[in-house]
Structure 1
Amino acid sequence: MIQVLEVKTEKDIKEFIDFPFKIYKGDKNWVPPLKNDEKKMFSPHTNPELEFCDTQFWLAKDNGKTVGRIITMINHKYNEKVNKAYARFFKFESINVEGGEQLLLFAENWAREKRSTHIHGPLGFSNLDNQGLLIEGFEYLPSIASTYNKVFYKDIFDKLEYQKENDWIEFILYPEDCIDERILKLNETIKKRYNLIVNSFKKRKELQPFIPQVLEVLNQAFAELPYVIPFDEKTGSYYIEKYFSLLNPNLIKIITNKDGEAVAFIVGLPSLSRAMQKANGKLSPWGIYNIFRAINHPKVVDLALTAVLPQLQRQGVAAVLITELQKELIRYGVKEVETTGIFETNTQAVQTWKNFKHIQHKRRRCYVKEL
């Protein structure tokens, strides 16, 4: 008989973190997270989002053996923003269909007890977490910002009558090794028209003065997207600490106006998927070597974030960012770019790379169920 038990002890936390390492062992397309990063989720001292998220962590046990895990959550900031009473679930994993069903039914009951009208997910604490359930593209290696899961998970959601709420789609871009002169001239025209300056970087410390402005651009640019809540100083610092050391500053471009204020930015992240597989959740000397080798010598680049202030959207500024990044891709000899998830309804974002050869290769889904 399967029991769902709350994570309370250090042993429970370790079991929660280690569970996917067991069920995906030997899977060539699973990218392990760093265990130290995962552990930071559990404490308000290291995860400021617990201050506004009513969160509990659970393990499914069958005769003492862990067969699944899940996080249940009420994100109060999100509910206040959209004026709804939604619960969400996150980090859903199961060894089989039965365990998965029991976990989701348990999460639904938990949500009802919290007076939620709906439950949706997989959704994290913020839009910078790995969200959604992969339903297409299992044969492709995911980026560290994407997700990967068992194929049969979708069957569990279908059986329990969950509905599609939103889909993210992902693309592989194949940039050319030269840029059309017409595009370069158009970009110069756009920069002159709006008095824009493209800032490039060689060292991470050069990025530091821009961080508060970049967070503000991110908040404004993403404000109307589903599931997004603004980052404050605490939550912004949490994600900056998580990702800053993984950045290659050459792959970051920040556009400022004539007053030196950031109005747009793009973050290309060297693909760390293979390096993270070699690290296998631990920052051993070998793991660190492989990660920093991937950072400094990128062969594939993940398009992690692109943001433009609302008043400059649809004015060609995003295309300027892409072109400036492409110059660096050419310099590094990068032939493949992996996009992170884009809402399928966001046709404006897809148009940004219309000049690249590309394929849409993955689809992730956020499910919802009325309680």
Structure 2
Amino acid sequence: MISIQAVDSPKRLKQFIELPFRLYADDPLWIAPLRSDMKRLLSPRHNPFFREAEIEHFLAVDAQGQVQGRISVSIHAAYNERFGDEHVFFGFFEVAPDPAVARALFEAVGNWARARGKSRLLGPYSYTSTQDAALLLENIDGRAPTLLQTYNPLWYADTLKQLGFELAFTFSTYGVTAEQYRVRRKASRSDRVMPGSQFSVRTATRADLRDNLDEVRCLFNSAFAENYEVAPISAASFKFQIDSVKTFIDLEGIKLIELEGRAVAFFLILPDLNQILDKLKGSLGLFDLFKLGRYKRSVDGAVIALIGADPTVQGSGLGRLIGDEIGRYAEPRFGRLDTMWIDDRNPSSYVLARNLGMRRTKRYGVFGLDLVETSL
């Protein structure tokens, strides 16, 4: 017997956070998040996204009182305004290998969604499409995830398919070593960009950081205004996300590319903080605080966390310039560079990865379910 419980108390919130630590205890590729970060992320008081969406969390509990699964469900008004009012997201999905657990969780999610007049379930998105997204389908390089890459057992996808979900679309991540990039860079032709137009590249300033990189946020929203699945990021939610990594931001890793004084493209590169999280195992102890400087210096990988270009200048050769600037920053500082997810329907981003000499490292999927046609 599996019972479903709403996460409505500190005890259940702790169970929600702790479940992956038990499920992945013997998996060397899983990177534990900091429990303190998870508490802030799941807190309506701390996370401003709770003011932008309707959110609920559920636990699946067996007859012995042990938690066997968890899930979130959310309705993001800004996403539905852009893509249709029928959508509900599920996320933070983790289950023990028992089909009854997943079925019970999705029955609860389906009932919650129908009660609010929604008919399309999509995910995993935790809590929306610009946050942790998608199920791992193929771990092509066999490596642990980098920062901003999700991780799960590969059988999760089969579990969803058995419940009637269909693969809606796929993402991929890409990576390159510094040595591989050096070989590629010799063939760079980024100086041959838009003859007659003058691009300039500037590094973000401390003032930009104090303003929570709002120029980057606005450019991101503009760049992705016509793209699949991306809803605009509010200033409050963007600040919340930036604040979580602000200590580790190197301003040299944030570039704005301007044309005639107007920002038309940007990228944000972060150190692969998963290399630090792997040492912390979910908790930041007193001795870890003393070691934090050494941990930071030991990080030899970086992740392209955000990237975007105004659609009006895409196809002009700007991608080569962006790729060259990314390489110029990352090559002398890091032994490896990875991307977060890139929509497989977005050829311009794939071309940028290819121009950097990157190879596909992982493949992810987002799944959809029509609640009108299912009995869940």
Q: Which amino acid is the alignment partner of residue 166 of structure 1?
A: F
Q: CA deviation at 1:132?
A: 0.5
Question: How has the CA–CA distance of structure 1 residues 168 and 47 changed in structure 2, closer, same or farther, with 3 Å as cutoff?
Answer: same
1:240 aligns with 242
Contact 1:210 1:262 in 2 (8 A): no
- Whole-angstrom CA distance in 2 between matches of 1:248 and 1:27: 32
Q: How does 1:35-46 map to 2 (within 5 A)?
A: 35-46=35-46
Q: Is the 8 A contact 1:169 1:342 kept in 2?
A: yes
1:14 aligns with 14
The 5 Å alignment of 1:101-120 reads 101-120=103-122
Conserved? CA contact 1:126–1:227, under 8 Å: no
Q: Which amino acid aligns with 2:75?
A: I
Change (3 A) 1:191 1:182: farther
**Residues 27 and 367 from structure 1, CA distance in 2 versus in 1: closer, same or farther, beyond 3 angstroms?**
same
How far apart, in 2, do the equivalents of 1:262 and 1:286 lie? 43
Deviation digits for residues 315-367 of structure 1 (CA, Å, limit 9, x no counterpart): 222321221121222322x3422111111111111111333433212111110
Alpha-carbon distance change, 23 to 290 in structure 1, aligned in 2, over 3 angstroms: farther
Residue 240 of structure 1 aligns to a residue in which SS?
helix
Q: Distance in 2 between matches of 1:348 and 1:227?
A: 16
Match of 1:231 in 2: 233
Range that drifts further, 343-352 or 42-51: 42-51
**Structure 1: unaligned runs, 5 residues or longer:** none
* Residue pair 1:176, 1:335 contacting (<8 A) in 2 also: no
| Contact preservation (8 Å) 1:222, 1:228 | yes
Unmatched segments (≥5 aa) in structure 2: 372-376
Q: Which AA in structure 2 matches 1:176?
A: Y
2-structure distance, mates of 1:206, 1:103: 43
Aligned counterpart, 2:374: none
- Decide whether the 8 Å contact of 2:194 with 2:316 is kept in 1: no
- 8 A contact 2:130–2:230 mirrored in 1: no
Aligned residue number for residue 172 of structure 1: 175
Using the size of structure 1 for normalisation, the TM-score is 0.91
Tell me the equivalent position of 1:266: 267
What's the CA shift for 1:308? 0.9
Q: How far apart are the structure 2 equivalents of 1:233 and 1:148?
A: 28
Query: What percent identity do the matched residue pairs reach?
Result: 25
Q: What does 1:198-237 align with in structure 2 at a 5 Å threshold?
A: 198-200=201-203, 207-208=209-210, 211-237=213-239
Deviation, 1:42, is 3.2
Q: Which of 164, 187, 191 is residue 188 of structure 1 equivalent to?
A: 191
Question: 2:191 is paired with a residue of what secondary structure?
Answer: helix
Q: Aligned partners of 2:8 and 2:339: how far apart in 1?
A: 37
**Deviation sequence 1:131-153 (CA, Å, 0-9, x none):** 10111107321012011112221
Aligned to 2:74: 73
For 2:167, the aligned partner's letter is K
* CA contact 2:146–2:272 (8 Å) conserved in 1: yes
Matched with 2:146 is 143
CA separation in 1, counterparts of 2:369 and 2:336?
Answer: 37
Partner-residue secondary structure (3-state), 1:217: helix
| TM-score calculated relative to the size of structure 2 | 0.89
Q: Which residue of 2 aligns with 1:51?
A: 51
- Work out whether 1:122 is the aligned partner of 2:124: yes
Distance in 2, Cα, partners of 1:305 & 1:291: 25
Contact 1:300/1:336 (<8 A) preserved:
yes
Matched-pair contact (CA < 8 Å) for 1:253–1:321: no
C-alpha separation between the residues in 1 aligned to 2:249 and 2:149? 17
1:367 and 2:367 correspond: yes
Letter aligned with residue 165 of structure 2: Y
Change (3 A) 1:132 1:291: farther
Q: Which shifted more, 91-100 or 222-231? A: 222-231
Structure 1 residues 328, 312: CA separation in 2 closer, same or farther (over 3 Å shift)? Answer: same
Q: Secondary structure at the match of 1:22?
A: helix
Q: 1:206 to 1:111 in 2, by over 3 A?
A: closer
How has the CA–CA distance of structure 1 residues 250 and 192 changed in structure 2, closer, same or farther, with 3 Å as cutoff? Answer: farther
Q: What does residue 4 of structure 2 align with?
A: 4
